[in-house]
Structure 1
């Protein structure tokens, strides 16, 4: 007798609901959606004179120059917004975005580094100046003709070589930072001064981590993260203490003068290195100002092309 083993298969039919997701990019108020991409509504920017030039807005930020311009205004003028580049360098192009007032804009970035995207650099007594050239090519109209020529504009940002930074210490150090704000077209270099727990300058101090007593070691680091270390060095020209959180206090007590320990405090101050990179380091033993319960430290900082001269009177 033959025995047959039957296997019953239960077929399950799964019903899958597919959601249709709109992957079209968000368009600005001066754009409209055209075949999945945002096209400019150039009628919002009537142009009566095709020879008029666009007006980019320049921002001089720490470590970078930013040029921003209306995308659709460019196209209304017969210029191709997507062709915007620096110094005829096709690898340094603009990026589309939407401004705070909901209009389309193109931004292009140039780092403050010599040679990057064709950036040039000049130095005078007080400033380092970075410059470049913005280039925009014409828009091909009707796949047949151009109504305008190429547009180019020189731009530059100047960064001061001296500034001030502060570290507030009220028996417990905290991190301080500064960025020297200057008029339009002139930039700033971010400088930070921080206190650390260890002689390797790797563990920053916070309010809760340490309460100082007189003669406790304090490790101070001065850092300029946006500075081009291949071209410049930071130098702590002066470090001074006050009893109040006021860099212009009537009574100031020098800790470092011209890059060297002040004579009165030289036994408790060590300048580990200064003027040969984007960072300076100082070790000092905590002291107390007579009649004061708080101690504040302020620094005057300089930036040198290359490395700073190995002297205490470079400024």
Structure 2
């Protein structure tokens, strides 16, 4: 550095302390004004873009470019090519998620046009139904449902798990719990114009907890090319970012955390939307007619469930003083 600065005639004779960048341990901000006083300034000749030398209470320092700019620069052109508007929106969303660092407050979630539609439907349908919040299912109006009949579902009622004694016992116990807790009710009538969809279901094992089995209502299963997840709007990601949570744990001496058991089962589905969460069930080994049932709560497997339940949780936080 000394040799480079010596090439500038107007800087010769100045004592520039040699420092390694790795030795810097303290950065002094401009709020300490006396540390940034300009006691003397050496400027280059007029019209020349050379560096200034500034004498501060800590000695001489250089401000500006200390090397010559190249006379020519190689231009470069960059572009992004995507096939659809949806791919572009997803790309921008991923960019904002990776570029936003939630130091104190989580950044505002990037939302597409469909995300705004989903939030508007949530705002207009959410209500407190005594002990729980109830929300409607946001749907894409341009997609129609072609619903299977209970007769066509009869073959699907013979799933492989019915041949496994342990799985069958677990599924029967979970179904009995669903019915006894009112999480599903028997269908008695269907209002005209209702969107109706029957969900297949299967038991799934948690990858890190092989003994834990959950009923997965396959909202992504297709019938004649359509799935219920195709008409449900996913909505924006309202989940609190993990990095923001971890950083907030450093603000106080004691950190407190809690878990909501069966998160999706804590939020009710609006009654007029429940026909979209119908299924059939009869106890294994019986030959009774397949009764139609419908879920009263949100399900594991629906693309909208994470957003809807997070929205209800955030509304609870706002409304908590009114319920305490």
TM-score w.r.t. the length of structure 1 is: 0.24
- Bigger radius of gyration among the two: 2
Quick one: higher RCO (CA 8 Å, sep 6+), 1 or 2? 2
- Relative to its length, the structure with more helix (as a share) is 2
TM-score w.r.t. the length of structure 2 is: 0.23
- Relative to its length, the structure with more strand (as a share) is 1
